[in-house]
């Protein structure tokens, strides 16, 4: 395989791994924090629950991103191998 093909493969892997958005992973909505101390006290239980839910959801989100990143690496390797076979046929 030529140097130009290696550069193309490296760019393909980079785009697949870093450029694509993980569509299956939805980030959690950031919890709302009132600016007023009185509102914070009045809605403390609700606000606390929102923050605790966010923390749990963001951990799930990170796991999803990790899984998607691993999947994308596997796919990029497979695509690179397929491209290598294609280039070999043309040479």
Segment 15-44, tens digit of pLDDT: 555 555 546 899 999 999 999 999 999 999
Domain that holds residue 29: 3-90
Burial 39-76 (b: 16+ CB within 10 A, else e): eeeebeeebeebeeeeeeeeeebeeeeeebeeebeeeb
Read off the pLDDT of each residue in 37-55 and give the average, rounded to a whole number: 98
CA dihedral 55, 57, 63, 69 (to 10 degrees): -110
As a whole number of angstroms, the distance between CA 90 and CA 71 comes to 29
Cβ-contact 47, 33 below 8 angstroms? yes
> According to the model, what pLDDT value does residue 20 have?
53
In the chain, the number of structural domains is 1
pTM of this structure = 0.65
Q: Indicate the SS3 state at residue 43.
A: coil
As a whole number of angstroms, the distance between CA 32 and CA 47 comes to 7
């Amino acid at each position: 395989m030529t140097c130009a093909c290696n550069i193309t493969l490296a760019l393909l892997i980079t785009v697949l791994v870093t450029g694509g958005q993980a569509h299956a992973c939805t980030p959690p909505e950031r919890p709302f924090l009132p600016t007023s101390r009185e509102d914070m006290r009045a809605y403390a239980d609700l606000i606390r629950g929102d923050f605790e839910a966010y923390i749990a959801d963001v951990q799930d989100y990170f796991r999803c991103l990790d899984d998607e990143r691993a999947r994308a690496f596997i796919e990029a390797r497979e695509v690179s191998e397929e491209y290598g076979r294609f280039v070999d046929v043309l040479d």
